[in-house]
Amino acid sequence: MRSHVDHVDGNALAGVLAEFMSADASTLTIVCRHCGLHGDMAEVIVERDDVGSIVRCHGCEHTLLVILRGAGGGIRLRFEGAIEIATT
């Protein structure tokens, strides 16, 4: 049996994204596309400077995320090798 599907705009994501972003980031689970390792965000390797952070898998050291801070204070996330990031 097929369930009902609503088609709405991106505003419908505001609540679920706010809930996701308000989670304690160190307890998020991240999955590496390269080696398949599932681990807590607290266990990743991070290289950082004033411009941003490179987040690497602690298993294979491939880049999972790149987090950049713009001159105006905005933040950009580039999902490089992360298959999934989830709350527990």
CA 65 centroid distance within chain: 7
Global confidence as pTM:
0.84
Of all helices (H) and strands (E), which one includes residue 84? strand 82-86
pLDDT value of residue 64: 97
pLDDT tens-place string over residues 33-72: 999 999 999 999 999 999 999 999 999 999 999 999 998 8
Q: What is the mean pLDDT of the chain?
A: 93
Q: Alpha-carbon distance 22 to 46, whole Å? A: 21
